Amino acid sequence: MHHFSLLDLSPVAEGSAATQALANTVALAQAAEIAGYHRFWLAEHHNMPGIASAATSVLIGHVAAKTSRMRVGAGGIMLPNHAPLVIAEQFGTLETLFPGRIDLGLGRAPGTDMATARALRRHMAPEDSFPQDVLELLGYFGDTPENARVRAIPGAGTHVPVWILGSSLYGAQLAAHLGLPYAFASHFAPAMLEQALEIYRRTFRPSPYLARPYAMVAAGVCAAESDEKAAYLRTSQILAFARLRSGTPGKLPRPVEDISAHVPANVLSQVQQALSCSATGSASSVRTQLRGLIDRYQPDELMITGMIHDPEARIRSFDIAAEVLIDLRQNAPIA
């Protein structure tokens, strides 16, 4: 593992509002930079009462302006929602403002329900143009000649690093084919993680962007001073995910003492499986669980995330995780 990074969704907690959620994101990013995180990524979601990162590129700029060294990026931008030129201009502008600090992760899903997807795209095309859109976007970031008919300004010549994100085999195949870094969304969809990593690494083709495969694995983390407190704090995310699965998304709930009293057993089982690529507990417990994930999947980079209702407890959770990950990286066996 070369690096460890952090994914934030700017959660809007019950009893709070988007204004506080965005302030919490900035505070978390500043703490993450101090703690040693390599990247801080934000994700595009729409029409979700509990997520404030819908205007992802705007928030990336805000976070980058409030930090100084850490890379900041999208994990990710849902490219089917946008014209590639618009994204090239947005991220070309970000790279121009914050040189060498901007990442662009691209997803193929809409990141919302179909009614909202239609509102975003206005005219939805029936065919899947994601590979072509990725190539078009890469072209805008390249050294396009000044006489090209269409150029991204800013954008041309910025060479913003592009990642392919995925939760199935499709993204692994595309990332390998294009020679791009690959990030798997195992923090909420771990079922195909092992197979996707094998395909990506085996079929990777070196490119001008990347000489050898570079795989990121995502994991949920909820750390606290004791196993019991961490388990209690994590009930917020479990309850939020259960409500999302049941079609009733809302703000991030307050934690509860007995999650089984709030979520039907069959739904709880599904949620626990979806969130199984994770580590919960004290520093010692989180260390054991994260070491198991790293040993099993051998990621080049680990991206962690976690939804905790109390913003101070959330910062503390990621501070504990950083201490653990620094120790694991320093004491990793030499290959």
DSSP state of 51: B
| Total domain count, the chain | 2
- Of 317, 262, 303, nearest in space to 4 by CA: 303
Q: Cα separation of 164 and 168, whole Å?
A: 12
233 and 149 share one domain: no
Angle between helices 169-178 and 130-141 (to 10 degrees): 40
Band (pLDDT 50/70/90 cuts) for residue 212 is very high
When the pLDDT of each residue in the chain is averaged and rounded to a whole number, the result is: 94
Q: Does residue 276 belong to any structural domain of this protein? A: yes
Instruction: Say yes or no to pLDDT of 135 above 80.
Output: yes
DSSP state of 218: E
Instruction: Say yes or no to pLDDT of 110 above 80.
Output: no
Q: Does residue 123 belong to any structural domain of this protein? A: yes
Phi, psi of 211 (to 5 degrees): -85, -30
Instruction: Say yes or no to pLDDT of 197 above 70.
Output: yes
What CATH number did the domain enclosing 28 receive? 3.20.20.30
319 and 227 share one domain: yes
Q: Does residue 177 belong to any structural domain of this protein? A: no
pLDDT of residue 123: 59
Residue where a domain stops, chosen among 140, 160, 180: 160
33 and 133 share one domain: yes
Residue where a domain stops, chosen among 160, 176, 200: 160
Amino acid found at 187: H
Q: Cα separation of 7 and 48, whole Å?
A: 17
Q: Cα separation of 225 and 281, whole Å?
A: 8
324 and 232 share one domain: yes
- Record the tokens describing residue 283, joined without a space: 């520093």
pLDDT of residue 275: 96
31 and 126 share one domain: yes
Instruction: Say yes or no to pLDDT of 25 above 80.
Output: yes
Reported as a single tens digit per residue, the pLDDT across 175-195 is 999 999 999 999 999 999 999
103 and 251 share one domain: no
Q: The domain containing residue 137 runs over which residues?
A: 1-160
Q: Cα separation of 88 and 76, whole Å?
A: 14
Q: Which helix (H) or strand (E) holds 230?
A: helix 227-245
Residue 276 CA, chain-centre distance (Å), reads 16
Cα(first)–Cα(last) distance of the chain, in Å?
11
Number of H helices, E strands in the chain: 11, 9
Residue where a domain stops, chosen among 108, 133, 160: 160
143 and 225 share one domain: no
Reported as a single tens digit per residue, the pLDDT across 304-328 is 999 999 999 999 999 999 999 999 9
Band (pLDDT 50/70/90 cuts) for residue 122 is low
Q: 313: Cβ–Cβ under 8 A, 6 or more apart, which residues?
A: 224, 233
- Record the tokens describing residue 314, joined without a space: 């959330």
Reported as a single tens digit per residue, the pLDDT across 50-83 is 999 999 999 999 999 999 999 999 999 999 889 9
Distances (CA, A) of 7 to 25, 105, 128, 218: 10, 12, 27, 9
Instruction: Say yes or no to pLDDT of 249 above 80.
Output: yes
